[in-house]
Structure 1
Amino acid sequence: MTQTMTGGEAAVLSLYKHGINTVFGLPGVQNDWLYNAFYDHREKFRIIHTRHEQGAAYMGLGHSLAKDEPTVFNVVPGPGLLNATAALSTAYALNAKLFCLTGQINSRAIGKDWGELHEINDQLGVMRGLTKWAERANAPSEVPGLIHKAFTQMQSGRPRPVGLEIPMDVLAAECAVDLLSGDVHGAEPELNEDTIEAAAKLLGQAKTPMIFVGSGAQGASALVRQLAEALQAPVVGYRTGMGVVDARSYLSLHQPAAKGLWDKADVVLTIGSNMRVPARKWIKGHAPQIIRIDVDPDSHEKFFIPACAITARAEQALPVLLNRLERHNSVRASRKDELLEAKAKWAERSAVLEPQLSYLKVIREELGEDGVFVDELTQVGFASRITYPVYNPRTYISTGYQGTLGYGFPTALGVKVARPDVPVISVCGDGGFMFGVQELATAVQHKIPLIVLLFNNNQYGNVQQMQKNNYGGRVIATDLHNPDFVRMVESFGAQALRATTPEEVRTAIQQGKRTTDVPTVIEVPFTEMPSVDQFR
């Protein structure tokens, strides 16, 4: 039905029709008509306004990763968008369904270099370099169609962030608008039956198969487990692949534990993963036949030429592959003892990572079955990527290949907004935490009861370790002057605790779980921890 409305109202109602009821944002003059429309429809939305644009974008990222759903954040143009770009690049690395809805200067001034407030050259080009798809709305009547296109892009092919800019005059203008249905039907690639048949034959004949999983397998956990059991194949996940198969299963291995198994594998199946470390390092010593399942056809030959390349989502391909495998699968003895031995050897090797392992053990126990761990670029975070047992998909959130220092705390706030039903723990270092410390105000104001473990050694610790170990102790620009974190956190109105041992951390986490209206920050002072670099 055609209605007369502003561009701002067209955007707000279109978001609502596409299932959006939470928006992370920071208002400003170019977005005034957007927020005016949010006010008119405020009963439909939870608007979480942040203290920095990077906070809005990272919170949107965490919300999207936790729920595997499109999430919207909004910023002003120019410096506002630029402040959000680290989060957009992280979302790109993590295949996140994140929608950047940004304002823009007046239409007639775009590209003129007139020195308008918040003007930057080619803002749309900036967004296009960080997203899968980005466009500009030139009239209110275009807004519903472009928002529908954005959601279609997020849910077609490889999920990645998208962007839409709406100039301030377009948000303010009134015209006849046709709102569209929020039903989105993402395009699915057509399965190649011959390729699936070839893959089933290869896997069925394999004597020592392996499976590697990444974020593209998170929605197919039960199918991956079924396939692994049929093949007696270990399942290896790193970062986003952790938890696809429960770490308590003998079939589930951390990546470093799998090196010896790779050396005798004859066929390797990779599902929704670039498998970067094996593909760039391990394959030089031993090159098994590789089968790839990935929705992105451009990913198949990035690092090697696979024997079979199946372009499909894991949820689409695995049922067919399992069906075909029934005709071709060999009878194999259980590899349980072999795989448990590999896990035990890795546990013995990695036991030097203390006190990280003791802290991770406490975190694992206190999070329970479905609690969410959000890592950071800190020694406990690094250790978690190769030792932390993840039970379920989307309960371990990592920065992916971007390695974005400072992403952890605000991203974890978004995770907690998405998952209020479970405990969420953000593990930060003092360096990374200070990137987004101002979002404590956001968390208190919006009653987000996140638990933060803040490991503090007054350093950019990992960089300083590299300076000491690799550059003869030539330490420079890595010592930090920090505030009294307990007093600072309390000044925001949050709960502040300090713990110095794993058991004290346990007690503090339990206190944080009992606190339901404000965040809890637990400072954990330390000096040095062993580096995980020895296992790379």
Structure 2
Amino acid sequence: MSTAEATVETLLAHGLKTIYALPGVHNDHLFDALARAADRLAVVHTRHEQGAAYMALGAALATGKPQAYSVVPGPGLLNSGAALLTAYGMNAPVLALIGQIPAEAIGRGQDHLHEIKDQAGILSRLVDHTVMLHGAAEAPAKVAKAIRSMAEGRPGPAALECAINVWGARGKVEPIPAPSPPRQPRIDDDAIKRAAKMLGKAKRILIVVGAGALDASPEVTCLSDMLQAPVLAYRRGKGILDGRSPFAVNLPLGHELWGEADAVLAIGTRLFAPMTQWGIDRDLKIVNVNATAEGAAKFHKPDVALIGNAAPVLRRLIDTLSKTNDKRAPRADEMHERQARMRARLAKLGPQLEFLDAIRTELPEDGIYVDEVTQIGFAARLALPVYKPRTFLSPGYQDNLGWGYATALGAQHARSDVPVVSINGDGGFMFTANELATAMRHRIPLTAIVFTDGAFGNVRRIQQEQFGNRVIASDLANPDFVKFAESFGARGIRARNPEELRGALRDAFKAGEPSVIEVPVGAMPSPWEFIHMPPVRGKVKR
């Protein structure tokens, strides 16, 4: 086999069915191998390297399974870098296959096409696992190890480099081995017992969930019921507990409950907002379930750390807790009342909430909402009910403007069984709007909503409120987005209010083809008082 053929066969052996890619001369032999395997491994080619990487990210987030993309070195890598960085921040299993200059020239500074100084060093700052392929014989083992690494310890992306003159080099390859499961830490039964005793005796428990709990929805739901504990999910954890439950609480209600709690069960989260904004004191006991000990103690050493995958750890905790848990009074009535008060507070965000109600009404329970850095997106993080895990995709702590459309395109391609809706502002949409061409070429029926206010709205509000209305670099010149969509052959629709948006969404989902819905809006109320909140106890951690 060639190195490229061995790589492709190993990807297939590990269950990958698609590679998102933009071709180029450094990877010609890889693409030839992909062409030979076209009946088994699909290639979705994009119009920009960032589109390929974001599509792989969206597919990984929507499925929870490894996804791959490939681009040329140098500018190709750098163009994809924001998406790879976001994959790292979101613990997403994205495998980057990056070309390289001729093997003998790497590190010699001879100015080859797309040469970049210390490309491996750049990759090592974007992922935890990166390695060079030197030939066909070693490719299966290195590719398999890279895929396995994405699920071990702190989950996240990995990268493989291969030189232009190595992809096509042939050599003897042993039979491709079957995938081996990632190594998982042994569950510490003594820690489980300590956690069960602590939680069993606590009176007012708050559960906080992040992305590390996405595969533990049944266990989280069971614990919430056993402990009569509200479950706080801000972004990545939304849908782990069904959003219709009165125990599913948003960020500002979680802020209130944090101040009242005597114990917190944190699952798959570093507790960023509570630790850096809300405060902690000796009266609050914390049990942290995390993939690594470092993650559990990111800001504060917990009273008990339970290390491992959330689902099996929580199952063990449930079994032990069932023997030690105090009898608890039901809190459903209390939570219904608190939810009603919170909805009254959030009514300040009326324009955003009306549009979100329209989207939630038309989007099926298992439909996927892809967030963006926009006014509707900020409000959705607070107020959109989410019913199932992996149906609310939000860009994590990078929170990078413009990630949305191409990421949603990958989610829709990977989850063709459900509708996906991409929420955009006019600023962010134009980052990857060119990938409408990809949607049309590959018939990906993504529905994108573009809320147009003619500005980077959040930037403009900050300038108006904090800088004496000295507005600079925030106004936009936009196309007619309906005509823009139609110029690609996509459906273009304009909706001027929430009711029209409902109808446009129904039509778009029924049509099953790429669609863009433009929604003209004005300035919207600020959500930030519900996101950046003051301490409610003790000291904050920095």
TM-score range, shorter chain: over 0.9
Give the whole-Å Cα distance in 1 for the aligned partners of 2:95 and 2:227.
39
- Residue equivalent to 2:351: 355
Query: 1:95 is matched by which residue type in structure 2?
Result: N
Task: Tell me, yes or no, if the aligned pair for 2:402 and 2:427 is still in contact at 8 Å.
Answer: yes
The structure 1 residue matched to 2:96, chosen from 94, 100, 118, is 100
The structure 2 residue matched to 1:519, chosen from 504, 507, 514, is 514
Q: Deviations over 1:348-367 (max 9, x none)?
A: 11111021101101111111
Q: CA deviation at 1:184?
A: 2.4
Match of 1:521, SS state, is strand
The root-mean-square deviation of aligned C-alpha atoms, in Å, is 1.0
Q: Deviations over 1:98-125 (max 9, x none)?
A: 0001111110110011010010011111
- Residue equivalent to 1:202: 198
The structure 2 residue matched to 1:422, chosen from 418, 422, 426, is 418
The structure 1 residue matched to 2:449, chosen from 447, 453, 463, is 453
- Residue equivalent to 2:42: 46
The structure 2 residue matched to 1:160, chosen from 156, 159, 176, is 156
Q: Deviations over 1:416-473 (max 9, x none)?
A: 0111111110000011000001100000000000000100111011100110111111
- Residue equivalent to 2:539: none
Give the whole-Å Cα distance in 1 for the aligned partners of 2:424 and 2:175.
43
Query: 2:55 is matched by which residue type in structure 1?
Result: M
Within 5 Å, give how 1:31-110 maps onto structure 2: 31-110=27-106
Match of 2:185, SS state, is coil
Give the whole-Å Cα distance in 1 for the aligned partners of 2:415 and 2:38.
22
Task: Tell me, yes or no, if the aligned pair for 1:61 and 1:87 is still in contact at 8 Å.
Answer: yes
Give the whole-Å Cα distance in 2 for the aligned partners of 1:385 and 1:59.
22
Q: Deviations over 1:461-501 (max 9, x none)?
A: 11001101111111000001111211111111111011110
Give the whole-Å Cα distance in 2 for the aligned partners of 1:176 and 1:305.
50
Confirm whether residue 146 of structure 1 aligns to residue 169 of structure 2. Answer: no
Q: CA deviation at 1:157?
A: 2.0
Give the whole-Å Cα distance in 1 for the aligned partners of 2:19 and 2:307.
33
Give the whole-Å Cα distance in 1 for the aligned partners of 2:410 and 2:147.
20
The structure 1 residue matched to 2:524, chosen from 510, 517, 529, is 529
Match of 2:138, SS state, is helix
Match of 2:431, SS state, is coil
Give the whole-Å Cα distance in 2 for the aligned partners of 1:431 and 1:175.
49
The structure 1 residue matched to 2:392, chosen from 396, 402, 417, is 396
Task: Tell me, yes or no, if the aligned pair for 1:258 and 1:342 is still in contact at 8 Å.
Answer: no
Q: CA deviation at 1:300?
A: 1.8
- Residue equivalent to 2:363: 367
Give the whole-Å Cα distance in 1 for the aligned partners of 2:400 and 2:292.
24
Give the whole-Å Cα distance in 2 for the aligned partners of 1:77 and 1:60.
18
Match of 1:469, SS state, is helix
Q: CA deviation at 1:182?
A: 3.4
Q: CA deviation at 1:286?
A: 8.1
Give the whole-Å Cα distance in 1 for the aligned partners of 2:107 and 2:170.
24
* Stretches of structure 2 lacking an aligned partner (at least 5 in a row): 533-542
Q: Deviations over 1:327-385 (max 9, x none)?
A: 21001100111211221111111111021101101111111210000010010001000
Task: Tell me, yes or no, if the aligned pair for 1:10 and 1:179 is still in contact at 8 Å.
Answer: no
Within 5 Å, give how 1:107-506 maps onto structure 2: 107-284=103-280, 288-506=284-502
Give the whole-Å Cα distance in 2 for the aligned partners of 1:455 and 1:511.
18
Residue correspondences, number: 531
Q: Normalising by structure 1, what TM-score?
A: 0.98
Give the whole-Å Cα distance in 1 for the aligned partners of 2:186 and 2:280.
33
Query: 1:329 is matched by which residue type in structure 2?
Result: N
Q: Normalising by structure 2, what TM-score?
A: 0.97
Pick closer, same or farther for the CA change 1:424–1:287 going to 2, 3 Å.
farther
Task: Tell me, yes or no, if the aligned pair for 1:212 and 1:236 is still in contact at 8 Å.
Answer: yes
Task: Tell me, yes or no, if the aligned pair for 2:9 and 2:176 is still in contact at 8 Å.
Answer: no
Give the whole-Å Cα distance in 1 for the aligned partners of 2:142 and 2:281.
49
* Stretches of structure 1 lacking an aligned partner (at least 5 in a row): none
Task: Tell me, yes or no, if the aligned pair for 2:402 and 2:428 is still in contact at 8 Å.
Answer: yes
Match of 2:348, SS state, is coil
Pick closer, same or farther for the CA change 1:56–1:333 going to 2, 3 Å.
same
Task: Tell me, yes or no, if the aligned pair for 2:368 and 2:393 is still in contact at 8 Å.
Answer: yes
Task: Tell me, yes or no, if the aligned pair for 1:14 and 1:179 is still in contact at 8 Å.
Answer: no
Query: 2:518 is matched by which residue type in structure 1?
Result: E
Give the whole-Å Cα distance in 1 for the aligned partners of 2:175 and 2:465.
60
Match of 1:121, SS state, is coil
Give the whole-Å Cα distance in 2 for the aligned partners of 1:437 and 1:227.
43
Query: 1:251 is matched by which residue type in structure 2?
Result: F
Q: CA deviation at 1:128?
A: 0.9
Which deviates the most, 273-282 or 174-183? Answer: 174-183
